[in-house]
């Protein structure tokens, strides 16, 4: 994971008022926690078994809170669309937390929502890597086939 990727995550956390973020990629574990007063986030990094130079880990751990980074070009934003007609649910039950929030990192197999069709609950997976940048469907409302449900920033590297 590169420093600019962590800066992007911190920016998204600020924009979406998220307090904590955790992620694991290629054995590298990262946990970012913002304090309520908006001070610089705490970044905790755990090294993979081998292959990541200590200098790179030190740079990641010392990542300061950055000023907002401009949005990526439109070609780096993809959409998760509805594969069927049904009712869109962001969480597995009314009292449960949503599967994903804005700013959440997703992988191909990450469940992002449920679409109920003919009394069958169908888990919908992201089917792409990236970060959720917008929720485009309203919870408990009908969706159509091909309707955009989520916007996903698929490229974290800046041009």
Q: What is the pLDDT of residues 55-65, one digit of tens each?
A: 444 444 444 43
- Higher pLDDT pick, 88 / 9: 88
Number of domains in the chain: 2
Residues 82 and 139 in one domain: yes
Residues 138 and 97 in one domain: yes
Q: Is the pLDDT of residue 117 over 80?
A: yes
Q: Is 118 within the bounds of a domain?
A: yes
The length of the chain, given as a count of residues: 159
Q: Is the pLDDT of residue 122 over 90?
A: yes
Residues 57 and 81 in one domain: no
Q: What is the pTM of this model?
A: 0.53
pLDDT given at position 69: 35
Residues 83 and 148 in one domain: yes
Looking at the chain, the whole-number percentage of residues with pLDDT higher than 90 is: 43
Residue 46 is part of which domain span?
Answer: 3-61
Q: Which residues pair with 14 in a beta bridge?
A: none
In this structure, how many other beta carbons lie within 10 angstroms of the beta carbon of residue 99?
Answer: 21
Nearest to 11 by CA among 47, 64, 56: 64
């Amino acid at each position: 994971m590169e420093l600019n990727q962590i800066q992007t995550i911190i920016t998204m956390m600020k924009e979406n008022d998220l307090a904590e973020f955790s992620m694991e990629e290629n054995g590298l574990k990262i946990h970012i926690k913002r304090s309520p007063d908006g001070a610089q986030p705490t970044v905790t990094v755990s090294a993979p078994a081998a292959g990541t130079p200590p200098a790179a880990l030190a740079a990641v751990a010392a990542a300061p809170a950055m000023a907002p980074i401009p949005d990526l070009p439109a070609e780096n934003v993809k959409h998760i669309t509805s594969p069927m007609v049904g009712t869109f649910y962001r969480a597995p039950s009314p009292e449960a937390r949503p599967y994903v929030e804005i700013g959440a990192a997703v992988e191909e197999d990450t469940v992002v929502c449920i679409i109920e069709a003919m009394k069958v609950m169908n888990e919908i997976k992201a089917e792409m890597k990236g970060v959720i940048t917008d929720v485009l469907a309203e919870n408990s409302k009908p969706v159509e086939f091909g309707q955009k449900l989520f916007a996903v920033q698929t490229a974290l590297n800046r041009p």
